[in-house]
Structure formats: C-alpha cells, structure tokens
Structure 1
Amino acid sequence: MTSPSVAPGASPERPPGWEPSSLERERTAYRQRRARRSSLVALLSTLVLGAVLVLGITATPGWPRVQETFFSPGRAWQALPAVATGLWLNVRVMLVCGVLIAVLGLTVAVLRTLRGPVFFPVRLVATAYTDLFRGLPLLLVIFLLGFGVPALRLQGVPKDAVVWGGAALVLTYTAYVAEVFRAGIESIHPSQWGAARSLGLSYAQTLRFVVVPQAVRRVVPALLNDLVSLQKDSGLIAVLGVIDAIRAAQIETATDFNFTPYVVAGLLFVVLTVPLARLTDWVARRQGWAGATGAVR
C-alpha cells in the first residue's frame, strides 16, 4: 500500500491548501493572550520584588558605609584592569584543564567499564583513584601539590604554582567527570553492544563507534555543569600566590582596605559563568526534545 503523494514543501500532517478553522484560530489567540499576560505578570512581580529589596537594603542604617566599602564605582573602575588581567589567567587555566579533564575522565571511565577478570587490577586502580579524589577536598589537593611537590626539589619537575594548581584541578575534576562518563556508558542498552558485536566489531571498535558517541551525547549537560564549576574553582589557585582575579582583588584591597575589588572579581566571574549556564540549559532542553539517541519526536 503506497502512501499518498505530498507536494514539495508541504507538511505531511497538513495537506496543501489547509487553513485552520475558526475554533483553532480562537485557541491560538487565547494561548497568545495567556502567554503575554503571564510574561507581563512575571515582569511586574520581578520589578516589585527588586524594588522592595533595594529599598529595604538602602534604608538600613549601615548602608552608606557598606556602599562606600563594597560598591564604590570609582574604586571599581580603578581596580578593573588588574582584576581583568588576573581573570585572563583563570580563563586559560580553565580551558587547558578542561581539555585534560575531558580526555582523562573518559579514559578512566572506559577503564572502569572493562569486563573480564584479567582487567580487575585496572578496574581496581581506576576505582581507587575516583574514590580518593572525590573524597579529598579540592583546596587540600591544591595545598598538597602546590606546596608539597616543589618542596621535594626534584630535578626536572616544574615549580610553577600555576602548573601544580592546574594539576590539582585536573586530578580532582577528572574523578567526577569519569563518573559522569561511566554513567553515560552504562546507560547504553546491552542490545547496542550485542548488535555491534554481531556486525563483527571488536570490543574497542564497539566502544569507539557505537557506545561512546551515544554516551557522550547523553551526558553533555552534566559535563557543561562541571565546566561551569571548574570555571569558578579555578580561582582557588590564588591560595598558592598566583596572581589571578581573586589574588589581584586581594592586592588591590590591601592598599586601602576597600573591598570593592572583590565585588568586581565576583561580577567578572558571573559574567563568564552565566553564558555557560544558559548554554547548559539550552543543551539540556535540546536533549530533552531530540531524545538521548537523537531521534526526532
């Protein structure tokens, strides 16, 4: 039985010459009115709440002193170049560490999913690694590597605090990202493995061409969340004396004990984080619409 032909450019659900009925037009207009009214109510309620918060805070007795100490426009403009220069270091650390974390995290996840008794030592080491670095606080790892390794005075080992701060970020975040990848790999239905092996693909080829692409697609929103967290935690390397955005703000604050540079650093971090967060939301919505396997609904 052949399906009826459809004219080029016409939708299969709507034949050529189709027009909505009067009832459908009324429903569409009603939905549009409800959407506009909801948007207007949301805008007004947000403005009212914001006005109440602003008036409530500015009416407090200590607000003039707080404004001078934390929200001085002139001091913010003066500290902006130094803090922005330090932020560029945070961005570079995030980008380099992000690539290393993705590669190492996927490697550890694959090692944890290897089957067979011969791979038990490999799985044991990978499991011990993830358990150890998910249990250690990131700040403690930064202290141990940033101060401990250079103190050994090993020949050929770099002593740059940025290197060891980045290494601490990579070691810690790789443990978390590995678990995200492993969850994605184990979410693939066994029929996918069986179908790939029945076609003659080896175990490594099945992972590379069938399982891993689907697994990565499923966990992209979670990985982007980890990237947002990494972008913020890159500021922790300041405890090693690295002049990043936070350290630059601390230096600026030490000159006159005005804390506005810290607010400037926080705002710059937010400016970087918010686009990443919105990208994560967009990808999550796209995944929810297209489905985990990319099938169009």
Structure 2
Amino acid sequence: MDLAKAPAARTGTPAAEDGYRPSERRLAHEAYRRSRARRSALIATASTLATAVVLYLLVVNSPGWEVTRRTFFNLDYARQALPEVLKGLRLNLELMLGCGALILVFGLLLAVLRTLRGPVFLPVRLLATAYVDFFLGLPMIICLLVMITGVPALRLTGVTTDPLLLGGAALVLTYSAYVSEVFRSGIESVHPSQRAAARSLGLTNAQAMRYVVLPQAVRRVVPPLLNNLVSLQKDTGLVSIGGAIDAVYAAKIIAARSFNFTPYLVAGLVFIVLTIPLTRFADWLTTRMNRRQLQGGAV
C-alpha cells in the first residue's frame, strides 16, 4: 500500500492522487471523535441495562407479582391462545389491506376536492370540508357502533348487515378524513410556481394537478401515510365489537373460557410484532427524505 494513502485508508478519508496526507491534528481529532463515540455507546448500554434491571426487580418484588404472573404470563394459556390469535389475525390483515386501499383512494379524492379553485366549486369544497371536519371529530368507537348496530336496524333493502363489512366501512369513513388532510398538506406544500409553469406549457388545471402537483405531493407525504397505515392496523381490532372473530375477539373467547388474561397479552404482542417493522420503515424513510432535502436532492 502506498504510504501516502495509508493514513487516509485508516481514517476513511480518500487520498488525492497528488499524495495528500491528513495532518496530524486532523488524525488526532478523528481519533478523539471515535473514542467519544465508543464512550457514549458504552454509557448508553450500561444505563439501559441498569434501568432494565431496576424495573425487573421492582416488578418481580412487588406484592402482587405472583398473582399477576399467573393471570397475565401463563405459558400454558399462551401456547393455547397463539394458534387461535394467529387464525384471527388473518381477518385483521385482510381488513388492513382492503380498507387501506379504499382509504388512499377516497382520501386523495377528498383532498383534491378541497383544493379545487374557482367559485363554481364552492359547494363541492364545502361538502368535502364538512365531511372531513365531522369524521375528524367523531370518535372511532362511536362510528363503529353506529355502523354495526345502527345500519342493520334500518332494515334497508340490499344493504349488508355483515358486521365485518360494516366495521370496515366505518374504518374507511373515519381514516379517509385523516388521510385527506395528509394529502392536502402535501398538495399545498408544492410551490405555486410549479402549477404556473405547467399552465405556461399549455397544460390544463386538471393536467397540472395530475402530472405535476400530485406526483410531488404524494412523494412528500409517504412517511405520514405509513404512520396512518400503522394506526389502521391496530384499529382493525375494534371491529370485534360487532362479533367478528379477529385476533382480539379470539383472545377474548379464550380469556372468557379460562378466566385468564394471557391471551390478551399474546394478541397485543402479535400486533406489536407486526407494527414495529412498519414504524421503523416509516422512520427510516422520513430520515432519508429529510437528508436528501438537506443535500439539495429530489424529494
């Protein structure tokens, strides 16, 4: 190895062809930064382990630990509940995928309607705004109860009474309002000069929205959309109030039969295992997009 490039190889600094060598001061500074990083990592690891040990000792030495362990951490009931919970989880995943697709389409439509320009579109904007305001303020559980119990009571011809479909409709109605606000923020974040440039090239308003504004807006709101998808995955368990046997209701059946709450913990852990990868992916994507913006790259 060339001696002029050896220090650069050790420090990760590319050496120029003219034989550039980092100064001793720079090498010392980089060595100091590496030592500080190692020291910070060791301190963080030690403090985390110490906190975990203290919490563990605090929990296991509490007066009611034995009763809690038998009630919530029974391995026999966990092994019994896991297959049933996983079987019901299929229903939650189907709801998440089906409702998620409808929510994206309906939410985008609402956002576009709220951003239409011109006085002729005022009634459309008012209706879309009223819809979003109503479902943003309505609690999810109330919307589910009204849909699952209220719609069948109307006895409308041709309208389903399946609690699964009605629960899915309640999820779509509520989450579409949230997603429309995300899309609308993305549309409004696109600089007006983009639309003006598209119009100057001969594109109509609809074409400018479709080919210029929406592609930029959607890329900018992908991370918050993923966060909404994570929330939707968890809220699919609420359809169990109508009797649909999903992961939550399967755990409830076993808990009611055994008078042990370990199945609820199993269902919760299953949802956590599904949620963490989506959450970390959303965080990674947000960090990546922020870094590209700071570097002046495309969003």
TM-score, length-scaled by structure 1: 0.92
Which letter does structure 2 place at the counterpart of 1:99? A
Cα offset, 1:15, TM superposition: 5.7
Distance in 2 (alpha carbons) for counterparts of 1:211 and 1:13:
44
Q: What residue ranges of structure 2 are gaps of 5+ in the alignment?
A: 1-12
Equivalent residue of 2:221, what SS? Answer: helix
The aligned length equals 287
Cα offset, 1:242, TM superposition: 0.7
Cα offset, 1:169, TM superposition: 0.4
Partner of 2:83: 81
For structure 1, which segment, 204-213 or 171-180, has the greater mean C-alpha deviation from structure 2 after superposition?
A: 204-213
1:132 matches 2:134? yes
Partner of 2:74: 72
Partner of 1:39: 41
Partner of 2:210: 208
- Write the deviation string for residues 128-183 of structure 1: whole angstroms up to 9, x where unpaired: 11011111111111111111112222232222111110100000000011011101
Work out which of the residue numbers 107, 121, 129 in structure 2 matches 1:119. Answer: 121
Partner of 2:94: 92
- Judged with a 3 Å threshold, the aligned counterparts in structure 2 of structure 1 residues 45 and 222 are, in CA distance, closer, same or farther, namely same
Partner of 1:107: 109
Q: Residue 15 of structure 2 contacts residue 21 of structure 2 at CA under 8 Å; is this kept in 1? A: no
Distance in 2 (alpha carbons) for counterparts of 1:32 and 1:271:
34
Cα offset, 1:255, TM superposition: 1.1
Cα offset, 1:196, TM superposition: 1.0
Q: Residue 180 of structure 1 contacts residue 222 of structure 1 at CA under 8 Å; is this kept in 2? A: yes
In the TM superposition, what are the counterparts of 1:262-273 in structure 2 within 5 Å? 262-273=264-275
Distance in 2 (alpha carbons) for counterparts of 1:13 and 1:230:
51
Which letter does structure 2 place at the counterpart of 1:141? C
Distance in 2 (alpha carbons) for counterparts of 1:160 and 1:16:
76
Distance in 1 (alpha carbons) for counterparts of 2:290 and 2:212:
21
Q: Residue 217 of structure 1 contacts residue 292 of structure 1 at CA under 8 Å; is this kept in 2? A: no
Q: What RMSD, in angstroms, separates the aligned Cα atoms of the two structures?
A: 2.0
Cα offset, 1:189, TM superposition: 1.0
Q: Residue 214 of structure 1 contacts residue 293 of structure 1 at CA under 8 Å; is this kept in 2? A: no
Cα offset, 1:14, TM superposition: 5.4
TM-score, length-scaled by structure 2: 0.91
Equivalent residue of 1:162, what SS? Answer: helix
Equivalent residue of 1:167, what SS? Answer: helix
Equivalent residue of 1:295, what SS? Answer: coil
Partner of 2:187: 185
Distance in 1 (alpha carbons) for counterparts of 2:272 and 2:19:
51
Cα offset, 1:17, TM superposition: 5.0
Cα offset, 1:25, TM superposition: 2.5
Work out which of the residue numbers 162, 165, 168 in structure 2 matches 1:166. Answer: 168
Q: What residue ranges of structure 1 are gaps of 5+ in the alignment?
A: 1-10
